[in-house]
Chains A and B, each alone.
Chain A
Amino acid sequence: MFNYTFQWRQALQKLPLLLDGALVTLQIALMSMAMGIVFAVILAVARNSRSTLVSAPATAWVEVSRNTPALFQIYMAHFGLGSFGIHLSPYIALLAGITFNNAGYLAETFRGALRAIPGTQLRAARSLGMPSLQAFRLVIMPQMFRIAFLPTTNQMVWAILMTSLGVTVGMNSDLAGVTQDINVRSFRTFEIFAIAAVIYYLIAKAVTLGARLMAARLFRY
């Protein structure tokens, strides 16, 4: 029927390489989340601004990031900016693309969370003499993060999976890139991709589990 013999041992010898790639994947995902969260907070607040000059660019960012393929966003960061003379390495382009995507999705999540916090919280904080930024940071933001925690975890998993799109801009050090490299040299396609998929799965599960533990520690109210 088919003349493909599985050679798991040969494929498993590549495991150290794959794990190195997994580390790069995790690194990119974490950095893209950290930066994405910072941008998302700014975007969420900016979208609520009464000044169109502030809200319009934020809305544009959110709209584009949520309604175009993530692949295109990474492509644009690499080749698109390249046509303007801004040359980003595959690593940076991938990081930028995913950060852009994360920020857009999380901005909407955060905006929803902000709406769920009664306006009286801010008034109470301001009444105690806090400047608006301090009131936001100390009173509003912690509540926002709690409400948005689960969707943020989902985005983290999504960010890990999105890193695999890096191969399209020549990324070869992350898990997908390493997998692809080994594949073209060994042709053990099924075994290599299966092992890589298991690693993706385990990372994603570990993140979800870790987030749950973190939530239990962080949110005791």
Chain B
Amino acid sequence: MIEIRNVYKSFGPLEVLKGVNLSVEKGEVVSVIGGSGSGKSTLLTCINGLEPINSGTILVDGVEVHAKTTDLNLLRRKIGIVFQQFNAFPHLTVLENVTLAPRKVLGMSKAAAEEIAVKQLTHVGLADKLSVYPGRLSGGQQQRMAIARALAMSPAYVLFDEVTSALDPQLVGEVLDTLKLLANEGMTMICVTHEMSFARDVSDRVAFFHKGVLAEIAPPDQFFSAPQHPETREFLSNIR
């Protein structure tokens, strides 16, 4: 379970998170929507401890992410994150990209890591690209590889940060399908997204990030048909 309690976070004078609260249960899929530059990416990178916070607490399975005594490297093994910009490692083949962390971080043998990697890459439809370098892949393929790379660590949670935003429109579908597949398998996910139909169809709850807080969190039916907050209503009417 991920528990975000009253989290504040600033970059210098710029306060980005102003008391964020959110709990995500095991197996739940939560979509986060909101304007760009509002702090959604920041929130995700706070959850895996890439960014420090100013106050509040974030607990992952009861472990306080920003406590001094927390071993972040250990904690990150169970929190996968997939970024908007793919971040494929260009000097490694697709297979090496995916086996790197299982081998070097988890200490798996090459054979064991490759077995897992092939399984994950097959899952995302890249079984025929194992020995290809990422530079040869389309954006959608790179992003699916990044998803396989995160999943190869067998994380308990996966955070998706606008994973389709950098893709050409015709490639969005293949990545969203991969996400749907994961959601149906019961993966616990927080998805920052601009894809409203995805948020509606796949999420257990949808959250609206506005002015540094999650202004509204509700199941998709309610969120889209009867939003409580005027800001949510305005946001939704603007994107339609």
* Residues of chain A whose beta carbon lies under 8 Å from any beta carbon of chain B: 118, 120-121, 123-131, 134, 138-139, 142-143, 146, 219-221
Contact = CB atoms under 8 A, between A and B. Distances in A.
A120 B87 contact: yes
A136 to B, nearest CB: 12
B73 interface: yes
Interface residues of B, number: 28
Nearest to A141: B91
Nearest 7 pairs of A and B residues by beta carbon: A124-B87, A128-B101, A221-B133, A129-B76, A129-B77, A129-B105, A142-B91
A128 B91 contact: no
B48 interface: yes
Contacts of A129: 73-74, 76-77, 101, 105-106, 153
15 contacts: A118-B85, A118-B87, A120-B83, A124-B146, A127-B81, A128-B100, A128-B105, A129-B77, A129-B101, A129-B105, A143-B91, A146-B91, A219-B91, A221-B90, A221-B91
B198 interface: no
Contact of A128 (B45, B90, B134, B153): B153
Contacts of B90: 143, 221
A130 B76 CA distance: 9
Contacts of B105: 128-130, 134
A212 to B, nearest CB: 19
A123 B87 contact: yes
B136 to A, nearest CB: 8
Contacts of B106: 129
Classify the interface of chain A: helix, strand, loop or mixed.
helix
B74 A124 contact: no
B76 A126 contact: yes
A123 B104 contact: no
A122 B71 CA distance: 18
A123 B50 contact: yes
Contacts of B74: 129
Contacts of B80: 127
A129 B90 CA distance: 19
A198 B179 CA distance: 64
Most buried by A among B50, B73, B81: B73
A127 B89 contact: no
Interface string B23-50: 0000000000000000000000100101
